[in-house]
Amino acid sequence: MKIGIDKMAFATTDEYIDLRELARERGDEPDKYTIGIGQDRQAVVPPTQDIVTLGATAAKKLLSEDDKKHLSTVIVATESGIDNSKASAIYIKHLLELDDFTRAVELKEACYSATAGIQFAKGLVAMNPQSTVLVIAADIARYGLKTPGEVTQGAGAVAMLISADPHILALEDTTVSYTKDVMDFWRPLYATEAHVDGKYSTNVYIDFFLQCWQRYQQMTGRQLDDFAALTFHLPFTKMGKKALEALLKDNQSPVANKLREQLTASQKYCREVGNLYTGSLYLGVMSLLQNGQVNPGDRIGLFSYGSGAEGEFYSGILQPHFEKYLSDVKDDLANRHQVSIAEYEKQFNSQLGMNPDDVELDWQSDPAPFILKGQKEHKRIYQEKK
Ligand code: CAA
């Protein structure tokens, strides 16, 4: 039985900054950001958006009324959760008006956990092929103003429906996970911004990719020419390039150059939005499918990485008419508006974060379908704008 990704949809905020402007403001060369890091724009998060609103917006785009009837489980993968106890999946389940006889849970392992969610979902569908699972990867990447990580922030959510006989990507059985206790990036309970050992984290990422790839090759006997494309977790687009080049080295064969071209296609959306943490790999897959040279029957490789650290390499086969089952990301990105660096800094400092007070946010001007209205008696208040 084929099991895999049946539909995919993306959501981000409607505001962004131009990273050339940020570079000038921070006293850096714009080329460092656009070429050295490989990012052009970055999503700005108004205080009325968080992982619940972004996740619900992405999921609403793909769920038909018929889909809702088959849904057994909602899994939200995130490392920017809004509560240390209650799962964000429950808020999203409520906002989407899903049946009460639905399981809802949140998963955490840095940027990796959406992949765990997909693998767990595959198991649930195998047990009951009539049922489907909604996996939502939603995050807000926050490093702090004027830090080296600032240029690698971003925000958004990718929702994926996992089912039997999927329309987009049928997952193959071989998958390699690799885990070690590493302090490359973490966020203590008392912090709203990540702690990171930046250069070290890029080296750990590359090491985990090579470990997973070598084991996958030993297990399957597959070579580079068995793949139409390799996709990567993209904390910033240069990271994917570093990983692919660590594998290809000076290989200039047609196969290697094709993989380089496909990587560029998979990086297009990340350049515009920034790091989505758990969702980055999957936005990269959407970017490849909407901008790359891919056809039904092609094998796609996926490398997932989460600091701390865990990596996984797995693969899937593209299905006929896959392009019909993806939301229109280009349209979303074209409809955003640019804000100044001063406005971005103001919004960065206006998040609810650790503030325990009652807060009423100015939510009327936020055009998103789901908004965070504020907080009362330590409870976040969400609403769908109808
Ligand atoms: N023109 C072109 N390129 C330039 C340039 C210029 N004028 N000036 C600098 N550069 C290049 C540098 O040569 C460098 O390129 P290489 O990496 O290829 O050598 C690149 O720009 C970055 O320059 P620096 O190394 O000086 O940058 P930095 O010290 O400011 O830090 C960073 C970069 C470590 C990525 C930092 O942004 C960071 O800490 N980011 C967050 C951590 C991160 O994303 N880690 C990724 C792996 S962990 C992970 O994947 C999980 C996750 O999502 C967090």
Res 386: pLDDT: 83
For ligand 1, atom 12: residue with the closest CA: 36
What is this structure's pTM? Answer: 0.98
Token readout for 94 is: 């409520």
Res 146: pLDDT: 98
Res 274: pLDDT: 98
CA 368 to CA 73: how far, in whole Å? 25
CA 232 to CA 209: how far, in whole Å? 9
Side-chain half-sphere exposure of 89, counting CA atoms within 13 A:
23
Res 11: pLDDT: 98
User: What angle (nearest 5°) sits at the alpha carbon of residue 262, between those of residues 164 and 242?
Assistant: 110
Atom of ligand 1 nearest to the CA of 150: 37
The predicted-structure confidence for 317-361, as pLDDT tens digits, reads as follows: 999 999 999 999 999 999 999 999 999 999 999 999 989 999 999
334 in helix, strand or coil? helix
For ligand 1, atom 21: residue with the closest CA: 36
CA 171 to CA 168: how far, in whole Å? 10
Place of tokens 């890091």: 37
Answer for the pair 278, 113: CB distance below 8 angstroms, yes or no.
yes
Please confirm, yes or no, whether 233 is among the known catalytic residues. Answer: yes
Res 163: pLDDT: 98
Answer for the pair 284, 231: CB distance below 8 angstroms, yes or no.
yes
For ligand 1, atom 7: residue with the closest CA: 32
pLDDT in tens, the chain (386 residues): 999 999 999 999 999 999 999 999 999 999 999 999 999 999 999 999 999 999 999 999 999 999 999 999 999 999 999 999 999 999 999 999 999 999 999 999 999 999 999 999 999 999 999 999 999 999 999 999 999 999 999 999 999 999 999 999 999 999 999 999 999 999 999 999 999 999 999 999 999 999 999 999 999 999 999 999 999 999 999 999 999 999 999 999 999 999 999 999 999 999 999 999 999 999 999 999 999 999 999 999 999 999 999 999 999 999 999 999 999 999 999 999 999 999 999 999 999 998 999 999 999 999 999 999 999 999 999 999 98
Alpha-carbon torsion (6, 135, 129, 226), positive or negative:
positive
* Kind and range of the H or E run holding 281: helix 280-291
Gap from CA of 238 to ligand 1 centroid (Å): 8
Residue 268 burial (CB count, 10 A): 21
Res 189: pLDDT: 95
Estimate the share of the chain in helix, then strand, then coil, as percent rounded to the nearest 5. 40, 30, 35
Please confirm, yes or no, whether 193 is among the known catalytic residues. Answer: no
DSSP E strands, 78-200: 103-107, 132-141, 154-164, 169-179, 185-186, 195-196
The predicted-structure confidence for 20-49, as pLDDT tens digits, reads as follows: 999 999 999 999 999 999 999 999 999 999
Please confirm, yes or no, whether 167 is among the known catalytic residues. Answer: no
Gap from CA of 250 to ligand 1 centroid (Å): 22
- For 55, phi and psi rounded to 5 degrees? -65, -40
Gap from CA of 202 to ligand 1 centroid (Å): 8
Gap from CA of 51 to ligand 1 centroid (Å): 26
Atom of ligand 1 nearest to the CA of 280: 53
Helices marked H in 292-358: 329-334, 341-348
52 in helix, strand or coil? helix
ipTM beyond cut 0.90: yes
The predicted-structure confidence for 301-310, as pLDDT tens digits, reads as follows: 999 999 999 9
Residue 373 burial (CB count, 10 A): 17
Gap from CA of 375 to ligand 1 centroid (Å): 37
Catalytic residue of the set 15, 111, 167, 272? 111
Question: Which residues pair with residue 171 across a beta bridge?
Answer: 316
- Per the document, the length of the chain is 386
Pocket of ligand 1 (CB under 6 A): 29, 31-32, 35-37, 110-111, 148-149, 151-152, 184-185, 196, 198-199, 201-202, 205, 233, 235-236, 238-239, 275, 277, 305, 307
For ligand 1, atom 16: residue with the closest CA: 36
